[in-house]
Amino acid sequence: MIELTKLTARAAVDLLRRREVSPLDLVDAAVARIEATDGDLNALPTLCVERARAHAERIMATGSAAADGPPWLGGLPMAVKDLNDVAGVRTSYGSPLFADHVPETSDILVETLEANGAIVIAKANTPEFGHGANTFNEVFGETRNPWNTAKTCGGSSGGSAVAVATGQTWLATGSDLGCSLRTPAAFCSVVGLRPSPGRVARGPTRLPYDNLWVQGPMARSVGDTALMLDAMAGAHPADPISFAAPTAPFIQAVDNPTLPKRVAYSADLGGLTPVEGEVAGICAAAAQRFSELGASVEEACPDLADAREIFHVLRANQFVGDLAPIVEENRDRVRAEVVWNLEQGYKLTAETLAKAERARGRLYARVAEFFETYDLLVTPATVVAPFDVEIRAVDEVAGHKFENYFDWYTIAYAITATSLPALSLPCGFTGAGLPVGLQVVGPPRGEAPLLGAARLMEDVFEISARLPIDPRPGNA
């Protein structure tokens, strides 16, 4: 059964559809793998095995009318980030305030995935309320990087990235406001896709019109990522910004990719952020390999000079709108950074918010024009390699001191401000054997060409075949 966990998600789903394995077989294989590895990792602190087996038996008994369609996963077990409600399963949001919370109903994403043949087998660890790029909390503790268990796996979708990298599950959900799909994917050598706002329906949520945070897939390969996106995408009446899935499935774009003609590369988004030297070198060399496919690679970047300020303002406002009622009642029971975020939001004025919204409109116009010339924008996914798990946030790179605990991932959140789809693609390793990811940004609502181009580069890099891995102990 352990060998089943080495399959790609696409291969496992193909076996399920041909009934060469059963959903129960895969549930048992995943449970065995979790039991064998998670003691060193703490990726999946909450299991729901009996619920998963019951769901597997229902699928085996009834099948599905959608069994031949691209969204149908056939009974494939997956992990769900502990920010998503799963009916009858402990869901803590990484906060001691909700340590014993068990929702009665699942959220839209979980309902969508389960309707498309996914089986939830576990909840993946996340920092408190998903804020921060290192996965730790007061409920379950810290999640460790399987490439070196003394290092962080990144965050906030850290548990999901680790589960996928180690073969505990074939797929996992993630979410991304500033970097939370892309950073852990880069740190764990998996693929994490931040889709366009509205591509994946969300809810219920306190801010249904918010378009900064999105939910997306995490997988070991680009093909598996497209498979999961097909099972996630689509409109839902409870999500006012969601829109219909495309007529052609995303998996088709991966199997029949379009070669990008012009690729723009920027090591630092036009001087917006410092990048550690070794990471910058690995990513620059990786970007140049697009030329092996016949693409033209040029040093270029849209004008993102004000993206940092825009994101800071809109993020602070989003935090107040989403979490103020909860935090205000429990200031002494949440992380100090959570309270700090709230205070930053309270400082905002209507004039400041209006200025940021106008600036964001101009920013979008600039990037849309940029993608009339270029097919892709490529950058490092992170500015550093995985660091000591005990370090909560990076405060300095290349002599530059960051202003706050989240500025070290400016390279990711600047792209958030544009609403463009972006993924982290494994592209190499440091001299110490730690993963490095390439951030590949596509045109507006361009997930299909983005996935196709990433698949072509994945074939060049030949890294995805190294997964899953067993946890590797190491020193900080």
CB atoms within 10 A of CB 316: 21
How far is the CA of 375 from the CAs of 137, 197, 198, 398, in angstroms? Answer: 39, 20, 22, 31
Mention every residue, 6+ apart, whose C-beta is less than 8 A from residue 448. Answer: 246, 248, 250, 253
| Strand, coil or helix: 124 | strand
Say which residue the tokens 């490529």 belong to. Answer: 378
How far is the CA of 205 from the CAs of 88, 202, 238, in angstroms? Answer: 19, 7, 10
Question: Is 92 a residue of the active site?
Answer: no
Q: Choosing from 106, 180, 189, 419, which is the catalytic residue?
A: 180
Question: Is 189 a residue of the active site?
Answer: no
Q: Which of 157, 225, 222 is nearest to 188 (CA)?
A: 157
Mention every residue, 6+ apart, whose C-beta is less than 8 A from residue 192. Answer: 157, 161, 174, 176, 181, 182, 184, 185, 186, 216, 217, 218, 423, 424
What is the C-alpha R_g of the chain? 20
CB 406 within 8 A of CB 156: no
Given 3-state DSSP classes, what are the helix, strand and coil percentages for the chain, each rounded to the nearest 5?
40, 15, 45
CB 47 within 8 A of CB 56: no
CB 394 within 8 A of CB 386: no
Alpha helix segments (H runs only) across 75-181: 108-115, 158-165
Residue 161 phi, psi (nearest 5): -65, -40
Question: Is 156 a residue of the active site?
Answer: yes
Q: Choosing from 92, 156, 175, 242, which is the catalytic residue?
A: 156
| Strand, coil or helix: 459 | helix
Q: Which of 14, 123, 8, 33 is nearest to 74 (CA)?
A: 14
CB 75 within 8 A of CB 23: yes
Q: Which residues are catalytic?
A: 81, 156, 180
